[in-house]
Amino acid sequence: MKVVVLAGGKSGEREVSLNSGAQVKRALEAGSHQVDQVDLDGETWDLLRDGGYDCAFIALHGRLGEDGTVQGMLQVLGLPYTGSGVLASALCIDKVRTNRILGQAWLCIPEYEEVDPFRVSHERLEGLIRDLGLPLVIKPVREGSTIGLTIAGDIEQAASGLLAAGACDRRVMVQQFEAGTEITVGVLAIPDLQVLPTLEIVSENVVYDYEAKYTAGRSRHIIPARISPAAEKAARSAAERAFVILGCEGMARVDMIVDSEDRPWILEVNTVPGMTELSLLPDAARAAGIEFVELCDRLVQHAVALGPR
């Protein structure tokens, strides 16, 4: 088939997206597809409309790629595309709305509040710390890859963290810190729903931040995660439920913390997870017997089978 890989874009995850796109392109070419990689810009509409493509593989992370925007454009063009549709994409990029929906389904979500980062008084910040405790997690509502994230140990760090997050998004959330084992659970639906093995993240950095994610040697993956059988079952169930409740399609990755009582606390749901050689979902898929070339091919085949949405 003739496939266009959309990568790059304008979000803070641009470089990671370009890397994901390049590796997806190589994998699809290895599967005998004809592939173009396109950077999302003002001329993309005409190229997609006139390019004669059978499918678009979305490797765009963050805003304009993971938030339903490009999905809507592709739907207007009638071009099949990989991954979730407009609604699920828009919901999952918005951590506050994701939390509200999953919390109403009785999944474990750390306590949180959304704030205007530039209008939080000293007294208000003291109240947030009193209610949610220290350390306090501060992050943009609509960013990924821990961009703009701060884990604040005191009120001064919290104040700085609000400004850092506010520089990335006018909407910011502060959240209770949950201690435990950091894991992620990938879910595929291409077409049958498959929950991938749990993957434990061990970071050389204090926080599993942007550097740890994308610098070789700064983190490692342990599959399956070193958690109890009860926690394994609970985490896989929570990932599957989150995927279904939010209406995800194709693939998603659910990031969690498993606490000392085996409870999986959901941190976020990624509908366009990283597809680099260091990325989590491809690693978990390999552990389930799905090599990268097969994974990319199955995502495209599924998208074409779905047709224009």
Could you list the active site residues?
Answer: 13, 145, 214, 253, 255, 268, 270, 274
Amino acid at position 222, single letter: I
Backbone φ and ψ of 178, nearest 5°: -110, 125
CA 169 to chain centre: 17
| Count of positions (residues) in the chain | 309
Calpha distance 241→234 (Å, rounded): 10
* Burial annotation 53-91 (CB, 10 A radius, 16+ → b, else e): bebbbbbbbbbbbbbbbbbebbbeeebbbbbbbbebbbb
Calpha distance 224→204 (Å, rounded): 19
Contact 243, 179 (CB under 8 A): no
Q: Alpha helix (H) ranges present in the chain?
A: 14-30, 44-50, 69-77, 86-93, 95-104, 122-132, 155-166, 210-214, 229-245, 280-287, 292-306
Contact 274, 210 (CB under 8 A): no
